[in-house]
Amino acid sequence: MSHKRYPEQFKIEAVKQVTVAGHSVADVAQRLGTTTHSLYAWIKRYGPDSEEHLKKSAESAEIRRLQKELKRVTEERDCSGQLKLATILEFNQNSRSDSLGVSPPLY
């Protein structure tokens, strides 16, 4: 008997037909031209209770956390840069006013 190789995405989609859509294993296996044994193995590997699924969920959560933190520090950096620029501009304004003998504006 020859062993047909299926791409990982194909296996994941087959598992979703059983676990999410609620189709029977026998039905999905017949429709896709694979064995129920293979489909059960894929469910064990890619199903909602699998280590692979839990690992990917944990990785996704970590990515979301890091993206959120990146956004926060980027905003902090941008605000800090704007504050520095405003300080430099104000200093330059005051320096020019002093050299011209003009009083700086009162805010």
Asked if residue 46 lies in contact with residue 52, where contact means CB atoms within 8 angstroms, the answer is yes
What is the tens place of the pLDDT at every residue in 54-96? 777 788 888 989 999 999 988 888 877 777 777 887 877 777 6
pLDDT in tens, 37-48: 999 999 999 888
